[in-house]
Amino acid sequence: MPASETGVSPEVLDVLIVDDNSMLASSVREIFELSGCVCAVAYDGEEALTVLRGLPQPPRAILCDLVMPRMDGFELLQALRADERWRGIFVIVASGRDEDRGPALSFGADVFLPKPYAIHRLLELVVERRDGG
């Protein structure tokens, strides 16, 4: 979803959720928003880059699924870490395959969460970033 459709003020974006599962992305967004976070959603890596290009400053964190169409999470990680504008974004990746842990971390993920992940752990990671931790 383009930044203009997110309904948020882009300069205060706490987390960009990148997942092709729209039900999961919506549920996670709702939980984040109930915790006071400002969120946007993209449904693959290409859309995430489009959203990022439209923001005046990067989000505090990105939650990214690894298996997605068009541009997967590994490709998105490569793009984020290759671009100086986005290199410092805190990136949490999630996957149902534990064998993705090593490659995801080597591609530059800060945290790997196995799916299904504990939502309280995810909230801790994002709220900590939002609050300057």
CATH of the domain at 32: 3.40.50.2300
- Residue 76 belongs to what domain range? 3-130
pLDDT (tens digit, 0 to 9) for every residue of the chain, 133 residues total?
444 344 445 457 899 999 999 999 999 999 999 998 999 999 999 999 999 999 999 999 999 999 999 999 999 999 999 999 999 999 999 999 999 999 999 999 999 999 888 888 999 988 877 676 6
Name the nearest CA neighbour of 68 among 88, 27, 96: 96
CA distance 107 to 91: 11
Contact by Cβ (8 Å): 61, 129: yes
Q: Where are the beta strands (DSSP E) in the chain?
A: 15-18, 39-42, 61-65, 90-95, 111-114
Structurally, the chain folds into a number of domains equal to 1
CA distance 103 to 109: 9
Q: How much is the pTM?
A: 0.88
pLDDT at 70: 92
pLDDT at 98: 93
CA distance 38 to 59: 9
